[in-house]
Amino acid sequence: MLAAEPGHPMPALLKFLLIALCGLGPMVLPGRGRAAERPNIVWIVADDLSPDLGCHGNTVIQTPNLDRLASEGTRFAAAFTTAPICSISRSALMTGCYQTSIGCQNHRSGSARFPIHLTGGRVPVARLIREAGYHTTNLSLDDFLKPGGPVALAKTDYNFVWDPGATYDTNHWTGRRPGQPFFAQVQLPGGKRRGESPGPRWPEAVMATLGSTTPTNAFTLPPPIPEHPVLREDWAQYLDTVRQVDWEVGRIVARLRDAGELDRTALLFLSDHGISHIRHKQFLYDGGLHIPLIVRGPGFDRGRVRSDLVEHIDIAPTTLILAGLPVPAWMEARPLQANGPAREFVFAARDRADETVDRIRSVRSPRFKYIRNFYPSRPLRQPNRYMDDKAIVQVLRRLHAQGALTPEQAQVMAPVRPREEFYDLESDPSELRNLATDPCHTAALDRHRAALAGWSSRTGDQGREPEPEAVYLSYVREDRPEAGGGRLRGDFERNVELMLRWREERPMEQ
């Protein structure tokens, strides 16, 4: 079967032939198929959620609705985001391109003075769907569930310039034209619901909705996380955000069933990246990159579990094929419907997060992970107002100052970082034993190092040079919620000044 070389976009004709050979039935070309032949398509996108579901093996909590969705569709056990931060992840997801290819690799980038425009004919996939006759919306849960009427635009977080009026409709999906299929994104707060510090408000909300909370003694913390009451309570509250997402998915499915649309709808559930935690969000370890992905719809077998490597950007071409549309040649993703050899590698990148300048790249195969740090003279956990305001990070910093962390737990607090990291994920799934200097792994290291260099070159990685100072200052000095207010604003500004100083003292290495 024809397949693209990993990292290469497939030509449109090749993609179309590939899909036609996959046994998915007749293709529906734009403007030629009957509306009834095209399914509705619903993306359910949760914030900050790792695959801590029952169907993924979590026995601490129950997720019956997502488990049922997996039993009625296909679960992707090895799905990874290309970016561990929301805006860069969502910019990539909506285009089917690596964020580094389209200049969206820096979090919350794009300003009035320095806008980011998509080039080469690229447009958001929602716009392609709408131009093909779909009713398209991007909704909160409440707006999706309501009986009709006008709807507001929920979280987008695209770093590029885009036209909302050409991309999304402003009325509810029940108000679409007779026979018109709809495409809806439903945005769920997910792991963000637990807030910056464990407190009573979220448990009270969970009790009101679910009738119970997760006991703090019901689980073992992941190895990189030290034992501490705040960290244990935070993890319990995170697990309750997973339970909440499961409950919300159940309501979405019920709404579609009550409207008589469930059997005509392809459902895709995923998160933008992993849990926001000490060594997860903002990092390229699996804790930040491994995401849940379930697809229920035409072309996806019931109860199947796929273990091949997939990337979250694959959702874009997958959606186009579900809608009977060709995949543009500029998309770098691979549709999930494609047969042929599995991916050998998946790639990820992390660059500036709010005020904090960084550049990290990774390549992962089924067994190994290679990480390249381009600022090795800086701490792995640099100052960052958003993360440093979290109680879990404050506890970690105190424990480190007290010398209370194990060597493995203290790795994330090291004053400098290795230029290269290499992990055997079979023997070390927590990525704690760096094998980059181990001669027994030289051949595997060389193969992954070459794969990352080839991907960076092929896809035109736009983070290879530091962000110009004027652009950086324009972005970080705009009025953004990440900057906070009062004391927190002062912390943010101090970090900006530190980044400017380190620009000369601890620069990017090539």
Cβ-based burial of 377 (10 A; exposed 0-12, middle 13-18, buried ≥19): middle
Q: Is the pLDDT of residue 77 over 70?
A: yes
Q: Are residues 386 and 457 in the same domain?
A: yes
Domain annotation covers residue 404: yes
279, 311, 337 — which closes off a domain?
Answer: 337
pLDDT score for 26:
31
Q: Are residues 164 and 309 in the same domain?
A: yes
What is the enclosing helix (H) or strand (E) of 499?
helix 487-505
Q: Are residues 478 and 362 in the same domain?
A: yes
Coil, strand or helix: which one is 340?
coil
Print burial letters for 226-261: b (CB count within 10 Å at least 16), e (below 16): bebebbbbbbbbbbbbbbbbbbbbbebbebbeeeeb
Domain annotation covers residue 227: no
pLDDT score for 340:
83
Q: Are residues 112 and 154 in the same domain?
A: yes
Q: Are residues 329 and 422 in the same domain?
A: no
Residues of the domain holding 264: 12-188+243-337
Q: Are residues 295 and 266 in the same domain?
A: yes
Domain annotation covers residue 54: yes
Q: Are residues 331 and 354 in the same domain?
A: no
Q: How far is CA 176 from CA 35, 127, 144, 403, in A?
A: 12, 16, 13, 61
Q: How many domains does the chain have?
A: 2
Domain annotation covers residue 500: yes
Domain annotation covers residue 199: no
Q: Is the pLDDT of residue 13 over 60?
A: no
**Residue 30, domain CATH:** 3.40.720.10
Q: How far is CA 278 from CA 48, 156, 324, 392, 498, in A?
A: 13, 25, 42, 7, 21
pLDDT tens digit sequence for 119-176: 999 999 999 999 999 999 999 999 999 999 999 999 999 999 999 999 999 999 999 9
Q: Are residues 416 and 276 in the same domain?
A: no
Q: Are residues 451 and 420 in the same domain?
A: yes
% of the chain surpassing 70 pLDDT: 91
pLDDT score for 476:
86
Q: What is the pTM of this model?
A: 0.92
Q: Are residues 26 and 174 in the same domain?
A: yes
286, 305, 337 — which closes off a domain?
Answer: 337
pLDDT tens digit sequence for 193-231: 999 989 999 999 999 999 999 999 999 999 999 999 999
Domain annotation covers residue 197: no
Q: Are residues 313 and 360 in the same domain?
A: no
Domain annotation covers residue 458: yes
Q: Are residues 17 and 145 in the same domain?
A: yes
pLDDT tens digit sequence for 404-454: 999 999 999 999 999 999 999 999 999 999 999 999 999 999 999 999 999
Q: Which amino acid is at 361?
A: R
Domain annotation covers residue 376: yes
Q: In what order do the strands lie in the sheet with 293-296?
A: 135-140, 182-188, 40-46, 265-271, 293-296, 74-76, 304-306
303, 337, 371 — which closes off a domain?
Answer: 337
Give the CB-side neighbour count of residue 277, counting CA atoms within 13 A.
Answer: 31
* Mean pLDDT, the chain, integer: 92
Beta bridge partners of 146: none
Report the alpha-carbon distance of residue 318 to residue 129 in Å, rounded.
12
